[in-house]
């Protein structure tokens, strides 16, 4: 008989790829589950739960490990530190796995991978953790508030200190806490194909839980489904998976009948398709993105939706396209960003982002803005958006932009539900915060090009 | 150490019933050792004599807890159920879902033909069932629920992992204090 697959070894492979090789968590986990699709549902659930949970709580897990190890986590071999992390995660967060199984499996894995001399170390750290888990002292919320948040919610200190300065301590804690919440999937109803009521009925026929989203009447939150590809409303092109925050982009763009729109960083195409839906078959949407692969992906989404007024094409948003000069009624610039608004879904962002990287991203964002602003016709609209929170990539970019280009901010209130209207939306931009708003963290600004320059 | 050629499904010999071992000869001892070598070399957890072309009631098993040699084995008791993936060295690159008892008790003879009993749960129970079936010409594919599926043999592709050796001492020093 051949060796059965070892689920913990698979998880460890995932973690090594993400934490040591810079791969993205959702891609690595997705690929792994696809590769092992023959495993049963319970085994697949174990893999994703342990991998995602370990990433979500990594700073806290490292803190716990260091209570029982004389070697700091960053000095350990990658294999050993990730083995300890995933094992401590199981000890702390998975009551269904007996502690002895977690410890024994970890020791066995260490041995199997040739770390005979570290068997005792792994065994010692994990046994001590299992025994003394409830006695661990965590940082004190009053004396060390940032350290407390960092260990409790596993966020790096640099990020927290920026947020506390901008949003306040209480809001920062809500943002952190929200990232650990289980959420349903938000979908947009394609109103060209079916009414919201029909779609709800279709979903409920498959025993999927459906709830209307408070911000938009065509947004639904669904849960308790297995695979999106098995959802009939999805297969028919009636719904698109898209966060409400990203739906608000097309709302803020508010295209008129026949408008020519360019979405300069369009993949996977949700916002472009939404625009095309809003244009009701009129006008034209160019969904551009940088790589063949991303554009192919968009093409698939476009085909499923059956829209005719939209085309996907490969274009680099930082390379000037003379044919587009002042031709677009609407330009969407949903630029690459640090992604701090979507940490709930991609926990590894917390550890991969740094202030230095953020600076590089800001330069890229400005290069894109500098290039694509010229595609907006006089009197046309530019929508700037990111899925991140904090002023650096949002308000500061807008301020820089207004100082350098002939645009003005425009009131967003006409396009937003009352709950979202505020002083800043009147001023022309919206910062959504997870945990405060019912959506991902997101930023949208609506800018109009002056008619006479 | 000598490796023997593993017979692949389709080979007639895998469908035949094996004969009991009546006395221990040097030849049979060598066979058992070769079966263990062959199993470890192929990264298996179990191997039955007919899989190397010998129609004798002998199986070897190692689920990671040391070698187990069973001569003329018989299952005495079965209990519970486990459903899981199973694969066979005689059908490389494929696997299927098979339901087996979660617990078995078996008896067999050891290398000196002394009788012993063994109880196994989970993987060991599965391996005992799987290997004993071979002695009666039965492949696990007969029990597969649904389709067989392709699996890549990761173990075979894995590189020896010694690139982490350099920083060894630091953690060793911690071992003494913490373990």
Q: Which domains does chain A have, with CATH numbers?
A: 7-135 (1.10.940.10), 145-178 (no CATH), 185-241 (3.30.70.1170), 245-449 (3.40.50.150)
Look up the CATH number of the domain holding residue B81. Answer: 3.90.45.10
More confident call, B52 vs A225: B52
Structural domain includes residue B2: no
Nearest neighbour of B179 by CB, restricted to A77, A112, A121: A121
For all residues of chain B together, what is the average pLDDT?
Answer: 85
Maximum C-alpha span of chain A: 78
Q: What are the backbone dihedrals phi and psi of residue B93, each rounded to the nearest 5 degrees, phi first?
A: 80, 5
Q: Are A2 and B43 inside 8 Å of each other by CB?
A: yes
Inter-chain residue contact A70 with B131, CB threshold 8 Å: no
What's the average model confidence in pLDDT over A180-203?
93
Say if residue B17 is exposed, middle or buried (CB neighbours under 10 Å; 0-12, 13-18, 19+).
Answer: exposed
Whether A40 has its CB under 8 Å from any CB of chain B: the answer is: yes
Tell me the longest C-alpha to C-alpha distance in chain B. Answer: 58
Separation of alpha carbons A79 and A125, rounded Å: 15
Check B95 against A40: CB less than 8 A apart.
no
Q: B122, exposed or middle or buried, with CB in 10 Å at 0-12, 13-18, 19+? A: middle
A233 vs A187: CA distance, rounded Å = 11
> B122 in helix, strand or coil?
coil
Q: What is the pLDDT of residue B66?
A: 85
Residues of chain B in contact with residue A80, where contact means CB-CB under 8 angstroms, are 171
Decide if pLDDT at B174 tops 60. Answer: no
CA distance A268 to chain B (A): 31
Residue of B nearest to A123 (CA): B179
- pLDDT of B152 reads 62
In a domain, B5, yes or no: no
> How many CA atoms within 13 Å lie on the side-chain side of A95?
0
Check CB contact of A77 with chain B, cutoff 8 Å: yes
Closest CA to A368 of A351, A347, A384: A384
Residues near A277 by beta carbon (within 8 Å), at least 6 away in sequence:
A190, A191, A192, A250, A305, A307
pLDDT in tens, A132-161: 999 999 999 999 999 999 999 999 999 999
Per-residue pLDDT band for A2 (boundaries 50, 70, 90) equals confident
C-alpha distance from A81 to closest chain B C-alpha (Å) = 11
Angle, vertex CA B38, rays to CA B37 and CA B39, nearest 5: 95
**Average of per-residue pLDDT values in chain A:** 94
Q: How many CB pairs under 8 A join A and B?
A: 92
Q: Which two tokens stand for residue A107?
A: 């020791």
pLDDT at A453 (0 to 100) = 63
**Distance in angstroms (rounded) separating the CA atoms of residues A193 and A240:** 12
- What DSSP assignment string belongs to A225-248? -S-GGG-HHHHTTSEEE--HHHHH
Query: Are residues A70 and B64, on separate chains, in Cβ contact within 8 Å?
Result: no
pLDDT digits (tens, 9 = 90+) for B63-115: 877 899 999 999 999 999 998 889 999 999 888 989 999 999 999 999 999 99
Interface of A with B in 122-161 (CB under 8 A): 123-125, 128
Instruction: State residue A226's pLDDT score.
Output: 76
Domain assignment present for residue B1? The answer is no
Contacts of A108 (CB under 8 A, 6+ apart): B64
Structure tokens at A416: 């937003």
Q: In this structure, how many other beta carbons lie within 10 angstroms of the beta carbon of residue A303?
A: 11
The whole-number pLDDT of residue B43 equals 84
Instruction: Give pLDDT tens digits for B2-21.
Output: 899 999 999 999 999 999 99
> Can you give the pLDDT at residue A307?
87
Question: In this predicted model, what pLDDT tens digit does every residue of B135-164 receive, in sequence order?
Answer: 999 999 999 998 888 876 554 444 333 333
B111 belongs to a structural domain = yes
CA dist A301 and A304 (Å) reads 5
Total length of chain B: 179
A192, A194, A195, A198: CA torsion to nearest 10:
-170
In this complex, do B151 and A39 lie within 8 Å of one another by their Cβ atoms?
Answer: no
The answer to whether A450 and A226 are in contact (CB under 8 A) is no
Q: Is the pLDDT of residue A289 over 70?
A: yes
A299 — pLDDT class (breaks 50, 70, 90): very high
| Start-to-end C-alpha separation, chain B | 36
**pLDDT confidence of residue B164:** 37
Nearest CA-CA distance, residue A39 and chain B, Å: 7
With contact defined as beta carbons under 8 Å apart, do A428 and A409 qualify?
A: yes
Task: Give a yes or no: residue B7 inside a domain.
Answer: no
Query: A332 touching B, CB under 8 A?
Result: no
Q: Domain of B155?
A: 12-178
The whole-number pLDDT of residue A114 equals 84
Shortest CA gap B112–chain A (Å): 25
Within-domain flag for B4? no
Question: What are the two backbone dihedrals, phi and then psi, of residue A165, each rounded to the nearest 5 degrees?
Answer: -65, -35
Other beta carbons less than 10 A from residue A226's beta carbon: 10
- Mean per-residue pLDDT, A98-117: 89
Q: Tell me how far CA of residue A262 lies from CA of A92, A296, B164, in angstroms.
A: 49, 17, 50
pLDDT (0 to 100) of residue B173: 37
Q: Where are the beta strands (DSSP E) in B15-101?
A: 46-48, 58-61, 68-79, 82-88, 91-100
CB-based contact B170 A4, cutoff 8 Å: no
Report d(CA A195, CA A193) in Å as an integer: 7
- ipTM value, please give it: 0.77
Phi, psi for residue B47 in degrees, rounded to 5: -150, 140
Peptide bond into A268 cis (omega under 30): yes
pLDDT (tens digit per residue) in A388-415: 999 999 999 999 999 999 999 999 999 9
A38, A79, A121 member nearest B85 (Cβ): A38
Name the interface residues of B facing A (CB cutoff 8 Å): 43-47, 64, 83-89, 92, 95, 97, 123, 126-127, 130-131, 140, 149, 151, 153, 155, 160-162, 164, 167-168, 170-175, 177-179
Enclosing H/E stretch for A277: helix A270-278
CB contact under 8 A, B164 and A3: no
Phi, psi (rounded to 5 degrees) for A184: -75, 180
* H helix or E strand, kind and range, residue A218: none
Residue A280 has pLDDT above 70, yes or no: yes
Cβ(A364)–Cβ(A336) below 8 Å: yes
Nearest to B88 among A2, A68, A80 (CB): A2
Whether B77 is covered by a domain: the verdict is yes
Measure the CA–CA gap between A47 and A31, rounded to whole angstroms: 12
The total domain count for chain B is 1
pLDDT for A42: 81
CA distance B49 to chain A (A): 12
Q: What is the pLDDT of residues A251-268, one digit of tens each?
A: 999 999 999 999 999 998
* Secondary-structure percent of chain B, ordered helix, strand, coil, rounded to 5: 30, 35, 35
Q: Is A67 on the interface with B (CB under 8 A)?
A: no
pLDDT mean over A278-285? 93
Q: Which two tokens stand for residue A186?
A: 């938000």
A390 in Cβ contact with A442 (< 8 Å): no
Give the orientation angle of helix A145-153 with respect to helix A58-68, to 10 degrees. 100
Pick the catalytic residue from B12, B74, B131, B168: B131
What percent of chain B has a predicted confidence (pLDDT) above 70? 84
Task: Based on the residue annotation, tell me whether B131 is a catalytic residue of this protein.
Answer: yes
Q: How far apart are CA B70 and CA A282, in angstroms?
A: 76
Percent of chain A with pLDDT over 70: 100
CA B86, CA A277: separation in Å to the nearest integer? 49
> With 50 as the cut, is the pLDDT of residue B171 above it?
no
d(CA A245, CA A203): 22
């Amino acid at each position: 008989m051949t060796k059965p697959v070892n689920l913990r070894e698979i998880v460890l492979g995932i973690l090594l790829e993400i934490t040591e090789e810079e791969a993205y968590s959702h891609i690595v986990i997705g690929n792994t589950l696809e590769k092992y699709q023959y495993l049963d549902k319970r085994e697949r659930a174990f893999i994703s739960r342990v991998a995602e949970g370990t990433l979500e709580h990594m700073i806290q897990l490292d803190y716990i490990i260091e209570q029982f190890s004389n070697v700091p986590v960053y000095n350990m071999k990658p294999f050993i530190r990730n083995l300890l992390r995933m094992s401590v995660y199981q000890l702390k967060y998975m009551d269904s796995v007996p502690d002895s199984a977690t410890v024994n499996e970890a020791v066995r894995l260490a041995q199997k991978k040739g770390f005979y001399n570290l068997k005792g170390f792994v065994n010692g750290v994990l046994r001590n953790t299992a025994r003394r888990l409830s006695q661990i002292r965590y940082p004190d919320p009053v004396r060390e508030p940032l350290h407390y948040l960092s260990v409790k919610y596993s966020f790096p200190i640099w990020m927290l200190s920026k947020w506390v300065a901008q949003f306040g301590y209480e809001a920062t804690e809500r943002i952190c806490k929200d990232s650990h919440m289980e959420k349903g999937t938000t979908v947009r109803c394609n109103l060209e194909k079916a009414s919201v009521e029909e779609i709800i009925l279709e979903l409920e026929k498959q025993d999927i839980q459906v709830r209307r989203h408070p911000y938009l009447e065509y947004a639904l939150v669904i849960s308790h489904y297995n695979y999106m590809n098995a959802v009939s409303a999805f297969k028919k092109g009636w719904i698109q998976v898209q966060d409400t925050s990203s739906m608000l982009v097309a709302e803020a763009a508010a295209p008129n009948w026949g408008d020519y729109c360019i979405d300069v960083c369009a993949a996977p195409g949700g916002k472009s398709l939404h625009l095309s839906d809003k244009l009701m078959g009129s006008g034209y949407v160019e969904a551009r993105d940088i790589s063949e692969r991303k554009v192919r992906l968009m093409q698939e989404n476009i085909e499923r939706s059956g829209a005719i007024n939209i085309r996907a094409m490969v274009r680099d948003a930082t390379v000037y396209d003379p044919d587009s000069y002042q031709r677009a009624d609407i330009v969407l610039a949903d630029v690459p960003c640090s992604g701090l608004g979507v940490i709930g879904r991609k926990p590894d962002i917390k550890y991969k982002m740094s202030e230095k990287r953020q600076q590089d991203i800001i330069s890229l964002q400005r290069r894109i803005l500098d290039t694509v602003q010229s595609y907006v016709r006089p009197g046309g609209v530019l929508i700037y958006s990111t899925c991140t929170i904090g002023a650096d990539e949002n308000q500061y970019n807008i301020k820089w932009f207004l100082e350098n280009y002939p645009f003005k901010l425009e009131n967003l209130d006409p396009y937003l539900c009352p709950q979202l209207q505020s002083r800043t939306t009147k001023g022309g931009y919206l910062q959504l915060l997870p945990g405060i708003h019912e959506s991902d963290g997101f930023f949208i600004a609506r800018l109009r090009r002056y008619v006479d320059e | 150490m000598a490796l023997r050629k593993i017979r692949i499904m389709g080979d007639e010999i895998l469908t035949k019933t094996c004969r009991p071992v009546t006395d221990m000869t040097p030849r049979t001892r060598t066979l058992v050792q070769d079966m263990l070598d062959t199993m470890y070399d192929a990264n298996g957890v179990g191997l039955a004599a007919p899989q190397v072309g010998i129609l004798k009631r002998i199986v070897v098993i190692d689920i990671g807890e040391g070698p187990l040699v069973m001569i003329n084995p018989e299952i005495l008791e079965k209990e519970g159920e486990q459903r899981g993936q199973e694969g066979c060295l005689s059908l490389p690159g494929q696997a299927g879902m098979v339901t087996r008892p979660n617990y078995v008790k078996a008896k067999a003879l050891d290398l000196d033909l002394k009788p012993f009993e063994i109880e196994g749960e989970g993987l060991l129970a599965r391996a005992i069932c799987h290997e004993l079936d071979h002695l009666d010409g039965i492949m696990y594919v007969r029990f597969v629920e649904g389709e067989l599926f392709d699996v890549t043999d990761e173990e075979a592709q894995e590189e020896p992992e010694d690139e982490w050796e350099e920083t060894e001492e630091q953690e060793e020093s911690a071992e003494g204090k913490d373990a």
